[in-house]
Structure 1
Amino acid sequence: MSIVRLIARDELRMMARNRVAMIAFALLVLLTLVAVVSSRAHQNGIAGLRDRHARAAETAFDAQPDRHPHRMVHYGTFIFRPLGPLAAFDPGVDAYTGNSMFLEGHRQNTANFGDVRQSSLLVRFGQLTPAFVLQAVAPLLLIFLGYGALAREMESGTLRLLMLQGVGRRRLVGGKLLALGAVALVAGAPAMIGLLLIAGQPGALVLPMLIIALGYAAYLALWAVLILLVSASVRRSRDALLALVALWAVALVLLPRVAPDLASAAVPLANRLQTDVAIARDLRKMGDSHNPDDPHFAAFKQSVLDRYGVATVEDLPVNYKGVVALEGERMTASLFNRYAAASFAAQARQNGIVEAVGLLSPAIALRSLSMAAAGTDFAGHRRFLEQAEAYRYALVQRLNRMQADGVSYADDTAVDAGADRRKRVSGDHWQAMPNFRFVAPTGTALATAALPGLAIVIGWLVIALALLAIVTRRLGERR
């Protein structure tokens, strides 16, 4: 057996004698298994609930009786964001952004009913998921198991004895690293098993799962290297433990908490009330379709008359009120999209600042990688909002077109006793409306989005290995 393996075996025996550490390790494995099972059950339950509500909303819309098409514009419908299989591994921002939207004419609503707003305050501190356990708990366990791997040898004087017996510095560090790496491998195995179970679900994509597995493997390897780097840089085990716990607290608690605050301060984001007031102000400037003297709609009316070659709206082959509804929805949707694009751009700049801070914290980079590959990051939420708006606009414009083509202008403006019945169209039209179907991104797109985070984590690992190699050459020298 090689010297490296002997040293690794001896280090593992030393860890095994620490009963507290072994109990903590067993609890970590158990916690990860519980996280895998509970997270998968929770996500399956949410997915089933959303699917039931989506079908109920579709059924309620299709079951509406004969109505005026514009009444259906205001009746609207609910849609729900579906969950991808990898959301069971890392739910990302889904608990905070909301998962359902009410779609109606003349308005662009936001997503509602996030888990944080409906659950206990404990959800704000992080859900028990495999991703959370590997990101936060596993590194802390590795610290308590390996903080004294090299500092203990220098503190007790056994390092010099090992070197006198012909054990080189590289072999010694290699053996310690092999032992701590084995522990990290076992600690991450339950979560990876959960990831393999997810692979058997419909819609699971192999490429993002490979990126996630590689990212977490590099992350745990990084912590193993950092632990030995700090342990080799101090002379006492106590100092190594304090330094590593401080590093863990800064990387996983302080920087992830400070980064969003810095981003919010650097790039202010208008709240919902400010946005609604600004939109209402701009809507007044755009024109009022109910005002015959409004410049925009007076010019629009004339353009419609010229297009059909008639003198009055009564002579048009289409219902002018429906044509005005089409134009009004086009204008308001354009305004809504402009404000939405500005908000998305501001949030993208905020995320860019957070990712820049990720250069200082591999934990932030790993979270970015994990959420991007799982499709549960801000980009995934934006994808849902954009598809929802595209569906809303198409649905409303289809109803407006139905008013323009299916209801005569004379009936639409009549006020006699039977006018209301003549304005209605058959309820069969609602069943012909297409239902909302979310188009999920491809595996290549998800993997590509996760590559920047993976590059940062691997970059940290390479730098840590280089520093460990430098420190290894000076290991055991008097300081």
Structure 2
Amino acid sequence: MSINNFSKVVIVAKDEWRYWLRSKLAMTVLAIGLVLTLASVIVTAITMMELSHTRHELQTSAEQSFVDQPDRHPHRMVHYGHYAFRAPSPLSTLDPGIDAYTGNSIFLEGHRQNSAMFADSRQGTALTKLGSLTPAFIVQTLAPLLLILIGYSTISRERESGTLLYLLSQGTSGATLIAGKGLALISVVGLILIPLTVSALFTLGSGEGLLAVASFVFGYALYLTVWVLLILLASSVFSKNSGSFTVLAFVWILLCIVMPRVASTTASTVIPSAGKIETDFAVKAELRKLGDGHNTNDPAFKQFKASLLKRYNVDSIDQLPVNFRGLVASESEERLTNVLNKFAEQRMQAELKQTQVSRYFGWVSPLVAIRSLSMIVVGTSLETHHRFLRETEQLRFDFVQGLNKIHVEKLNFQDDINRNTDSAATKKARVSAQNWQILQNFTFDIDEASVRILRSVPAFLQILLWFSVLLGSMKFVGKRLL
């Protein structure tokens, strides 16, 4: 573009801004958009910082509570359990993603895998859910509507008032006119993105990577630019403001309201998953085959018992140099964990496939694409939640097996089997509280920025396709603008 043409584009953009400044509707809509975005950024950031501080304190408290327990039987500590908390990622101040629905803490105990608890949306009322306006929701869903209200008449207004023919006859090309109107709308996008960008930059001080921040902001800028092109295209094609607004309102409802729900419904239909009751019955059926780890005489451990006697070259479990009950508990926990992990992986794979199906709808809805991109880059996507579940399960297994090892090595077998005969025997079947120093310091960190960016590439491509197709359409329309 030559300097002369660029100056014309700037003049057109300034003229559009003068029109908006005279329009109460445009200024009101712009003010509402800025206030909503700024307020949501501040409120969500404060909430996430409080959650992060609280969860760090709770994690430390849970670990301290565990090690402060008095002398006990090791298996009592297995059932006493332990908590693991997930602190929010730095960029989750802008997009909490699925964290509000999946839970942020897990109670870890022997013989079972518990699900994540204390999800914010599960605890909130219907009113609080409707009032949860996060920065991501505002920019993804409300910002396009605000842009439509401001810009639906950018070109059609000129045609309807009869000034379009005059502008074209004065040497202003259709492409220059559209570019100028587009520049004005892009500047509105810039204003909307200022609070988001500043807040994203602040997360650099919390350990977030510059690559992730840049990708996050660029993704949203590209997404809103897609809407700018859609608005310009509709306003250029239709001769009346009413026609342009009606079509744009319909497109917004279709792409931002209908398609995301169609995507989730299609995903659950195409990739059906077993219900909780069905899964629970299947798990219990598998666990019955493993035997009861609390019963050393269970037939399921007959072969295990024989292998131990052969390994230590003894004739009975009383002659073993270690506690047979502890060995059975350890063996039972390992078998049980393998079964539970198998079902957990099946469930997570089904959830991931459903998510991938829903993400395909990003090719037909830019909102689906930016929602996927945003959650992935921020670190609040399903993949991150699944990694949290896997890491906490490994933590659970390690601390339970650590207690079982204490049971095997620190407690005499005879004292163990006689522990319920009287109070003295009960006291004798306890081990020192010094043995509870087995917990690993648990801190969950999201994936590296490079991993998240690589995972978000398909969503970037979806938005780029929308941008390319609309830009090509605008060039075609600009040559035929009358």
TM-score with structure 1 length normalisation?
A: 0.96
Q: Does 1:191 align with 2:196?
A: yes
- Residue 272 of structure 2 corresponds to 268
Q: C-alpha separation between the residues in 2 aligned to 1:293 and 1:427? A: 29
- Residue 448 of structure 1 corresponds to 454
Q: C-alpha separation between the residues in 2 aligned to 1:368 and 1:156? A: 42
Summarize the alignment of residues 427-442 of structure 1 with structure 2, pairs less than 5 Å apart: 427-442=433-448
Deviates more, 1:338-347 or 1:119-128: 119-128
Q: C-alpha separation between the residues in 2 aligned to 1:302 and 1:136? A: 65
Alpha carbons 1:126, 1:132 under 8 Å: kept: no
Q: C-alpha separation between the residues in 2 aligned to 1:290 and 1:69? A: 13
- Residue 95 of structure 2 corresponds to 90
Alpha carbons 1:28, 1:138 under 8 Å: kept: yes
Letter in 1 for 2:157: R
Q: C-alpha separation between the residues in 1 aligned to 2:174 and 2:446? A: 51
Alpha carbons 2:63, 2:439 under 8 Å: kept: no
The unaligned stretches of length 5 or more in structure 2 are none
Aligned residues: 475
Q: Does 1:336 align with 2:375?
A: no
Summarize the alignment of residues 23-102 of structure 1 with structure 2, pairs less than 5 Å apart: 23-102=28-107
Letter in 2 for 1:228: L
Residue 321 of structure 1 and its aligned partner are, at CA, apart by 0.8
Q: 2:230 aligns with which of 202, 226, 229?
A: 226
Letter in 2 for 1:465: L
Output one character per residue of 1:353-397: Cα deviation in whole Å (capped at 9) or x when no partner.
110112111101101111111111111111111110000000001
- Residue 209 of structure 2 corresponds to 205
Q: C-alpha separation between the residues in 2 aligned to 1:302 and 1:221? A: 71
The unaligned stretches of length 5 or more in structure 1 are none
Q: C-alpha separation between the residues in 1 aligned to 2:356 and 2:479? A: 38
Alpha carbons 1:50, 1:82 under 8 Å: kept: yes
Q: Does 1:259 align with 2:251?
A: no
- Residue 432 of structure 2 corresponds to 426
Q: C-alpha separation between the residues in 2 aligned to 1:345 and 1:411? A: 45
Alpha carbons 1:149, 1:231 under 8 Å: kept: yes
Q: C-alpha separation between the residues in 2 aligned to 1:124 and 1:452? A: 30
Residue 330 of structure 1 and its aligned partner are, at CA, apart by 0.5
Q: C-alpha separation between the residues in 2 aligned to 1:47 and 1:189? A: 25
Residue 164 of structure 1 and its aligned partner are, at CA, apart by 1.4
- Residue 325 of structure 2 corresponds to 321
Q: C-alpha separation between the residues in 1 aligned to 2:139 and 2:220? A: 7
Letter in 1 for 2:346: A
TM-score with structure 2 length normalisation?
A: 0.95
Output one character per residue of 1:217-266: Cα deviation in whole Å (capped at 9) or x when no partner.
10111111110011111111111001111111111111112221221122
Q: Does 1:119 align with 2:124?
A: yes
Deviates more, 1:191-200 or 1:123-132: 123-132
Output one character per residue of 1:35-87: Cα deviation in whole Å (capped at 9) or x when no partner.
11101111111122222222222221111000111110011011211111111
Residue 442 of structure 1 and its aligned partner are, at CA, apart by 1.2
Q: C-alpha separation between the residues in 1 aligned to 2:185 and 2:198? A: 20
Q: C-alpha separation between the residues in 2 aligned to 1:175 and 1:292? A: 82
Letter in 2 for 1:404: V
Alpha carbons 2:84, 2:107 under 8 Å: kept: yes
Q: Does 1:178 align with 2:183?
A: yes
- Residue 16 of structure 2 corresponds to 11
Alpha carbons 1:211, 1:450 under 8 Å: kept: no
SS in structure 2 of the partner of residue 286 of structure 1: coil
Aligned-residue identity in percent: 40
* Runs of 4+ residues deviating >4 angstroms: 289-295
Letter in 1 for 2:425: A
Q: C-alpha separation between the residues in 1 aligned to 2:361 and 2:296? A: 55
SS in structure 1 of the partner of residue 199 of structure 2: helix
- Residue 461 of structure 1 corresponds to 467
